Amino acid sequence: MEEIEAKQDERYMQAAIDAAGIAEENGDVPTGAVVVYKGQIIGRAYNQREQLKDPTAHAEIIALTQAAAFLESWRLGGCTIYVTLEPCAMCAGALVLGRLDRLVYGCDDPKAGACGSLYNIVQDERLNHRLEITAGVLADECTALLSNFFQQKRNKQ
């Protein structure tokens, strides 16, 4: 059973990685997210901060909005979100508020991660909801995406 779940996690994380590639093509930090409900992707997004000139246009926020529209509810119980990079405080808060069941992410974010690295908002017992976390799914691929993006930015400067 665990092996089947691990394979599913990798499949959906690959979809998030594919979405992150679009962010990179648009000059944004390559982070992607997909929301899955009953085996179906109901939200798929990538960072669009540069494109939209919006500090809240993170992949997670956009994917959550799509999922809520699909379910016609802000309550996203039964959903799992797959994100290439550990969510920040804003996104972690949105995951709690959306009542998702589970968060799966690729690589840790030691500078802004709020799901275990700096904080653990999604499992804070003081809040009214907590998510199950699975970290490190396709971590090498997710890390490489970010490392390559920032290396290219440094080389251009």
Positions annotated as catalytic residues are: 60
Residue written as token pair 């490489």 = 144
Question: Using CB atoms within 10 A of its CB, is residue 142 exposed (0-12), middle (13-18) or buried (19+)?
Answer: buried
* Nearest 10 degrees: Cα torsion 88, 18, 5, 118: -20
Contacts of residue 59, Cβ cutoff 8 Å, sequence gap at least 6: 16, 19, 20, 23, 31, 32, 33, 45, 46, 47, 48, 83, 84
Q: Find the length of the chain.
A: 157
Amino acid at 19: A
Residue written as token pair 């949105």 = 94
